[in-house]
Amino acid sequence: MIFEKEDIKSVTLLSFEEYRDNKEIIPAVNSWWWLRTPGSFKKNAAYVFIDAEAHTEGYKVGSTAGVRPLIIVDAAKAKEIKVGEKVMIGKYAATVLDDKSCLIDECVTRRKFDDVTNDYEVSELKSFLESPSFMELIFD
């Protein structure tokens, strides 16, 4: 199955809980990457290390790490996919996590989480993932 730009409803990062619940079907990557869950300290965000272990104490949000987007797809089209199945989102392979979301199988870019806060909802990274520039990165 191939998802096109118009099939994408939103883009985010995995939470620590979503990672924990899906760890068995998420392919490892050779990079550490951000989760959207705040870290234990004010300027830290949770991440997944190269060993595929999630670290909730977090890492400094001003640091550069991999970005592995969680893509929320159109519900009507998502009826055709099954958990664990591989799909294409633009030019990237992804793993289906549930009936509406797919995690891209690699880090598509490296970015800072933020320079100030571990709050994903107001982070620079969230703004980037919701931008036309990110869609160009995935689909062009």
CA distances from residue 45 to 89, 103, 124 in whole angstroms, order as listed: 26, 19, 13
pTM exceeds 0.75 for this model: yes
Measure the CA dihedral 117/48/7/80, to 10°: -150
71, 88 contact by CB (below 8 A): no
Q: What are phi and psi of 106, to 5 degrees?
A: -145, 170
Q: What are phi and psi of 136, to 5 degrees?
A: -60, -40
Provide the pLDDT for residue 76.
Answer: 82
pLDDT in tens, 30-72: 999 999 999 998 899 999 999 999 999 999 999 999 999 999 9
